[in-house]
Amino acid sequence: MQQALTLESENGFRNIHGRKERFNTFVARELISLDSKHLPKEKIDFLISLSEGFEAYDSSPESARRRLVIDTRKALYSLSKVFDPPTTIKPPKLRLPNQKDYSNVEINVKDSTPSLDSTLSTVKGIGSKTIELLASLGIFTIRDLLVHYPRDYVDYSQLKRISSLEAGETATIVASIRRTNYFTSPRNPNLSVLELLIQDSTGRIKLTKFFAGRRFSNRGYLMKQVSQYPTGSTVAVSGLVKEGSYGKCFIDPIIEVLENQGTSIKSKSIGRLIPIYPLTEGLTAVRIRRVFDLVLPFAAFWKDPLPQERISHHSLMSIQNAMNQIHQPNNLESLNAARRRIVFDEFLCLQLALLRKRNLFRKKPAPQLKKVNQINSLTSQFYSLLPFSFTNEQKRVLHEIESDLESSEPMARLLQGDVGSGKTVVAIAALLYAVDSGWQGALMAPTEVLAQQHYKNLCKWLPQLHVTVDLITGSTPNSRRKQILDDLSTGGVNIIVGTHALIEDSVSFSRLGLVVVDEQHRFGVYQRDLLLRKGLQPHLLTMTATPIPRTLALSIHGDLDVSQINEMPPGREKIKTSMLQFSQRNKVFDLIRAHIKKRHQVYFVLPLVEESEKIELRSAVDVYHELSNDLFQEFNVGLLHGRMSSLDKNSTINSFVSGEVDILVSTTVIEVGVDVPNATLMVIDHADRFGLAQLHQLRGRVGRGASFSECILIDSGKNSDSRKKLEYLVGSTDGFEISEIDLRMRGPGQVLGTRQSGLPDFALANLVNDSHVLELARKEALYILNSDPELNSYKLLKDNLDLHWKRFLGNSQLN
């Protein structure tokens, strides 16, 4: 059709006659016969109008004919874009030299017996200054350096054409030089600029290189630089694509002139993945990469702890190859394979250690707790006192716990459940089961506030069952403490509630049968151990309201059985959650007044106790004065934070619980332990400063009664990430879902608290993103221990395990 239109135009729009028909008849017919399946209605209507125009072509004046032909050519051109997909141009080819094979490289050492545990001073080429700088990073031996993995990579391996470059990405292109220009900056005579305009078959782009210093402003030096990039020569360029004043450009890229298209690249950076290492002052990226060139041959000494059969079974890379590829990867595929192998080994050590500890723990004889009176047991009496019934989930979990308590193997169980799911009442039932069997129980909480709350809950029910309960904390008076300790050692106290005070040497039990640890992630491994050692081998139940996905819990708490309560008790109102910007915070005050007028109470939570010069955040003390002196003089406002004395804390909490205080201004000290059914509004100022799981915990302080409750999040953040985080909380009330998002956003180290939980800080592994490798490592650990519990056939693996565990955890013992 375009050919026909061209001929008609060249012949003066005379409606030329073809072999069979005239021009206008041909075009009119072809226009309405076009495939219209992929065209919008307005396009089809336009083609029909053009066809009708050609039907009247003979009787139209020349100017109308000319306009009709032009419009038709434009329409057909736009249609060709729809029907003819653009031709894709393949990325350029770049010939990289083969990666160095370190297995055949001669190792340069100063002594004749090199090993992975040799100091860096034994390697030829590493100077004393470099050794000193590496020592400041904790790197002393060859092994230390090999496990000093890159924290990231600059990816120059993506070969692209100029037209497909995107601002903000790193890439490599191959193009020819069209023009070279140089000049000295008019504003700074010590700054010289070299500009290259390069071109490939898809477009052009400008490269800019800067030379800072008076010696680089010399005309002769600049001419020499220009001569290195002759017009017409081919160059390979790697760098970060930026958006400049005149389009996309490269600023200070790596450039190499090629003799021809098939020439092998000499640069060690162009077209490659460049490792980025953690550095220190004086230790440059170039220097540490040179050190790795000298040390990587020693990876050949790294013996594989796994037999070849198991390596092949899991499709793993050899450890020697993995060490080479993690530091100098050939491509993304080999980098991912190397990382998978090293992460697998890290997780395997963790899983083997956890499972071995678990096996050792289970071999110890534990008290078999069996009810003395099966018919009228303490637990059945406890059920009759409760104003509600256990949910099916609570019954299931309690049955799992009771089965463990009756076993001769010590229980080690983690109980997970969302805020308000009823974990505490299950723990009380378990403690009563121990007392009914003639043993004592201990409940340890991380804060005095939480310990006080547990004690009050127990005091509601246990005196009616003639079960004695007491509380011991750091603030317990000495005279009272002595009486409690005497009663505990003689069996006069059936259940003791306490904080870290329970693990003091002076605390001894008559017959400790069950230890319950609440908010277990807040305790160190050694602290939990100390409490367990106060009995022959008591059973252990740990609880957390900061849940993590079950598969992850089974893996990182591999020494614990995991129970999960997934059902909320009936009658709990859903908490409405809203978000306000900091500029809208005045709206909160009207909401507070409305809740108090309905005779309800309000929490107002802030991240800081007092004003800080370093952080521009409102503090609890400032807000307390503002609310009590200015905005809500007619109401009672209380203040609670961690720096207050235990006496003042308890006084404030009791006043809030009794209803004397209408508004409680607090820090996160109320995150757990404060249970006030009359509190219906939670205001969290600077909510962007908290983790998602922590915000969910704080939100759980309201909605504990039958009244409608709500939570207001005030966002003072200035970036989209903080807003996105809070939007997750607004849209979800599922603690497990929120915790998983929190893990992904903040990382497991912050959420789980690796130092407190006893988990190692992995060199490469990530508990969230590498969960599939973690599961694989756990299965392999189970396979190895089932076939060889003492690891007699895995001597290297056993040595590695001892080395890793000693480095990660010292002499701490995981329970």
* 3-class SS of residue 604: strand
Burial class (CB in 10 A: 0-12, 13-18, 19+), 467: buried
Nearest CA-CA partner of 253 in 203, 221, 210, 214: 210
pLDDT attached to residue 747: 59
Residues 686 and 777 in one domain: no
Q: How many domains does the chain have?
A: 5
Please give the Cα distance from 791 to 797 (Å, whole number).
Answer: 8
Residues 639 and 782 in one domain: no
pLDDT attached to residue 43: 81
DSSP state of 217: G
8 A C-beta contact, residue 546 and residue 557 = no
Asked whether residue 756 carries a pLDDT value surpassing 70, the answer given is: no
Distances (CA, A) of 212 to 191, 223, 224, 256, 282: 5, 16, 16, 21, 20
- 199: phi then psi, degrees, rounded to nearest 5: -145, 140
- For position 725, which CATH number holds? 3.40.50.300
Average pLDDT over every residue of 438-463: 89
Nearest CA-CA partner of 236 in 332, 41, 94: 94
Burial class (CB in 10 A: 0-12, 13-18, 19+), 157: buried
Q: Within 10 A of 233 (CB to CB), how many other CB atoms are there?
A: 15
- 565: phi then psi, degrees, rounded to nearest 5: -100, 110
8 A C-beta contact, residue 713 and residue 581 = no
Q: Is the dihedral of CA 801, 803, 804, 805 positive or negative?
A: positive
pLDDT band at 609 (very low <50, low <70, confident <90, very high): confident
Residues 687 and 615 in one domain: yes
Please give the Cα distance from 661 to 604 (Å, whole number).
Answer: 12
DSSP state of 94: -
pLDDT band at 36 (very low <50, low <70, confident <90, very high): low
With respect to residue 533, please indicate whether it lies within any of the assigned structural domains: yes
pLDDT attached to residue 104: 54
The whole domain housing 181 covers: 155-275
Residues 629 and 695 in one domain: yes
Instruction: Determine which helix (DSSP H) or strand (DSSP E) holds 486, and give its type and residue range.
Output: helix 478-490
What contacts 515, CB < 8 A, 6 or more positions away?
441, 442, 444, 528, 531, 532, 535, 538, 539, 540, 541
DSSP secondary structure letters along 527-571: HHHHHHTTSSS-EEEEEESS---HHHHHHHTTTSEEEEE--PPTT
Looking at the DSSP bridge assignments, the partners of residue 640 are 666
| pLDDT tens-digit map of 539-584 | 999 888 766 766 666 666 777 788 888 877 776 678 899 999 888 8
Written as six digits, the tokens of 151 are: 């924290």
Average pLDDT over every residue of 163-170: 92
Asked whether residue 53 carries a pLDDT value surpassing 70, the answer given is: yes
Asked whether residue 794 carries a pLDDT value surpassing 50, the answer given is: yes
| pLDDT tens-digit map of 451-478 | 888 898 899 899 999 999 999 988 888 8
Residues 308 and 356 in one domain: yes
Residues 131 and 205 in one domain: no
DSSP state of 606: -
Which residue carries 């298209």 as its tokens? 261
pLDDT band at 755 (very low <50, low <70, confident <90, very high): very low
Residues 582 and 709 in one domain: yes
Average pLDDT over every residue of 363-387: 81
8 A C-beta contact, residue 613 and residue 601 = no
With respect to residue 225, please indicate whether it lies within any of the assigned structural domains: yes
Q: Within 10 A of 155 (CB to CB), how many other CB atoms are there?
A: 16
**Among 88-102, 448-462, 494-508, 714-728, the least confident range:** 88-102
pLDDT attached to residue 485: 92
Question: Phi-psi category of 804—alpha, beta or left, where left has phi over 0 and alpha has psi -120 to 50?
Answer: alpha
What does pLDDT average to over the chain?
84
Please give the Cα distance from 356 to 342 (Å, whole number).
Answer: 21
pLDDT attached to residue 318: 93
Please give the Cα distance from 338 to 336 (Å, whole number).
Answer: 5
Note the maximum CA span of the chain: 120
pLDDT attached to residue 86: 61
Residues 521 and 423 in one domain: yes
| pLDDT tens-digit map of 665-699 | 998 887 665 778 899 999 999 888 888 878 888 88
With respect to residue 500, please indicate whether it lies within any of the assigned structural domains: no
Average pLDDT over every residue of 751-763: 54
Please give the Cα distance from 401 to 393 (Å, whole number).
Answer: 12
With respect to residue 530, please indicate whether it lies within any of the assigned structural domains: yes
Please give the Cα distance from 378 to 390 (Å, whole number).
Answer: 15
Please give the Cα distance from 448 to 456 (Å, whole number).
Answer: 12
What contacts 519, CB < 8 A, 6 or more positions away?
445, 446, 450, 543, 544, 545, 546, 672
- For position 281, which CATH number holds? 1.10.150
* Residue bearing the bigger pLDDT, 584 or 722: 584
Domain limit, last residue, from 221, 240, 275: 275
pLDDT attached to residue 758: 47
With respect to residue 174, please indicate whether it lies within any of the assigned structural domains: yes
Written as six digits, the tokens of 543 are: 């609880």
Residues 306 and 287 in one domain: no
Residues 721 and 678 in one domain: yes
Q: Is the dihedral of CA 762, 766, 767, 771 positive or negative?
A: negative
With respect to residue 453, please indicate whether it lies within any of the assigned structural domains: no
Looking at the DSSP bridge assignments, the partners of residue 725 are none
- For residue 779, the one-letter residue type is K
pLDDT band at 107 (very low <50, low <70, confident <90, very high): low
Average pLDDT over every residue of 208-221: 84
Please give the Cα distance from 590 to 364 (Å, whole number).
Answer: 61
Residues 707 and 815 in one domain: no
- For position 234, which CATH number holds? 2.40.50.140
* 3-class SS of residue 61: coil
| pLDDT tens-digit map of 308-319 | 999 999 999 999
With respect to residue 264, please indicate whether it lies within any of the assigned structural domains: yes
Q: pTM for the complete prediction?
A: 0.72
pLDDT band at 292 (very low <50, low <70, confident <90, very high): very high
Nearest CA-CA partner of 247 in 197, 185, 194: 197
Asked whether residue 182 carries a pLDDT value surpassing 80, the answer given is: yes
Instruction: Determine which helix (DSSP H) or strand (DSSP E) holds 74, and give its type and residue range.
Output: helix 62-83
Residues 406 and 554 in one domain: yes
Nearest CA-CA partner of 339 in 356, 361, 362, 316: 316
Burial class (CB in 10 A: 0-12, 13-18, 19+), 54: buried
With respect to residue 118, please indicate whether it lies within any of the assigned structural domains: yes
Asked whether residue 368 carries a pLDDT value surpassing 70, the answer given is: yes
Please give the Cα distance from 569 to 420 (Å, whole number).
Answer: 8
pLDDT attached to residue 757: 47
Nearest CA-CA partner of 230 in 269, 268, 259, 251: 259
